[in-house]
Amino acid sequence: MALVVTGCPHNEYVVQLKPRGNSIERTLVFYREDGANNDGTPKYQDFDEEELGAIAAVYPALGVTQAGKGYVARGVFTNALPDDVGGWGAYTNLTTSLGEAGFYVERFRGNDDLAGMSERRFQAAERLADLVMGWSQAELGREPGYEKLRQFLNVDFRRDLKNLSEYWWEGRLAGGYNTNAGEEFAVRFGQYLVEHGYFSVGEIPGLLRDAAGDNPQAPQAMMRRIQRLVARKMGVPETEAVPASLGFLADDTKMDESFDKYLASTELFRARLKQWEADEKLKPDLERPKPRDLAQDAMNTLIDFDLFDTREADHLVVQLSVPVSPVHSNGRWDEVLKQVVWDTTIQNRTNDTHLPAACYASWARADEEFQKEHLGKVALTGDELAQYCLWRSSQDAQRGGEWDAFLAALQPGDGLGERLAAFRFSGEPHPAGTNEPQKIPSASDYPRQLLKTALQ
């Protein structure tokens, strides 16, 4: 509710695309807003000058103009699209005698280096596991059964941190396409924890009650569960009392003090403190690092806790005007406006923990007059026409010319199928007889079979 009242300062981007044969006209409308006025109009804010300069740099001179409190950028591009909002894009148009096909794809911001992101998360899991192991050694290293706990932390816990990160990441990814996916992956990981002995099925009602947040005793109850888990991993039977040495795990203040004391003693923290002392000479207001930052930074890398926080996210709308509904697309087709529309949030330019927003579409429009004149009807449309355009555009000048001349000479009638079957490019062998199967694949097989099927 606070966000609704105060607004969410963010940038708005509307990308309008209009194909013009081999080129595409791009109009970008952009501005910054902080909520809306009572009449529904945006509460405009000043647009960042550096961002404005970056956009103007990829458009023609005088291609960016101010419109009220916002801006409009216009340009015509061939193949490569400008990196204005942030990302990479391309447009291709393939024109043939049978029709034309268009292909559009664009990535907006984000990070598509899945391997790199996974590596950073796994490194964070290793670092966090090492910190917990060191802490356990400092507090419990002399306790009976500690070696069992150490083995658990070094093998199972280390692996399970990585699996937690993967479940979180995959749930977030799937959640972008399926509303219930996040819940499903949370349940899956809960089942994983049960199977790996973190808690039992009988404890689930209590865990759900504690997680609800309406019980003031919930934090203490959760800490007692952690305390019992550690005791169990040290070989203490459920029927026996928790050892006194684990008492600090049932008191959040004592546990925090213990963890901070250990973290402050690590080489990692001493190195961070040394770096801060050097940086502070140039930045006197730089905040002194805290020991807990070591674990918090690792956990923030392991799990993106601001997944559902869109306060820093910008808003993007892409409108692609095409003459026919797309053959393939991940956007929404607006039949009235003849547009493919994408509407999504995008992270700021520096965020490298989210996947990019991706838009793609392909479409095909038949040359109805030519097809009717030479094939007797509109035979190739949609996906088949798009595939044909791709094939035709891949041919060299000689074969492309021979095929186009062959099509231009075709006339509707009973002999159309025979003429298609008999066509060969220069230098291609012809079948020895009409009843003898062709053993060597022909370069003309694909277009002849495509048209034969379409005509049937």
CA distances from 293 to 134, 296, 299, 301, 319 (A): 16, 5, 10, 12, 43
| The pLDDT value given to residue 293 | 95
Tell the residue number behind the tokens 């996040």, with chain if given.
182
Q: Name the residue among 367, 392, 369, 373 with its Cα closest to residue 443.
A: 392
Give every residue of the chain whose pLDDT is below 70, as ranges.
1-7, 176, 179, 211-214, 305-312, 430-440
Q: Is the pTM of this model over 0.85?
A: no
| The pLDDT value given to residue 216 | 74
d(CA 8, CA 14): 18
| The pLDDT value given to residue 307 | 44
Beta-strand ranges (E) seen in 246-327 are 314-321
- Helical H segments across 176-235, by residue range: 181-195, 204-211, 218-233
| The pLDDT value given to residue 85 | 96
- According to the 3-state scheme, what is the secondary structure of 393-423? HCCCHHHHHHHHHHHHHCCCCCCHHHHHHHC
Query: Residues 365, 384: contact at Cβ < 8 Å?
Result: no
Tell the residue number behind the tokens 């802490």, with chain if given.
135
Domain boundaries, the chain: 2-109+309-366, 114-302, 397-455
- Dihedral of CA atoms 249, 252, 258, 262 in degrees, nearest 10, equals 100
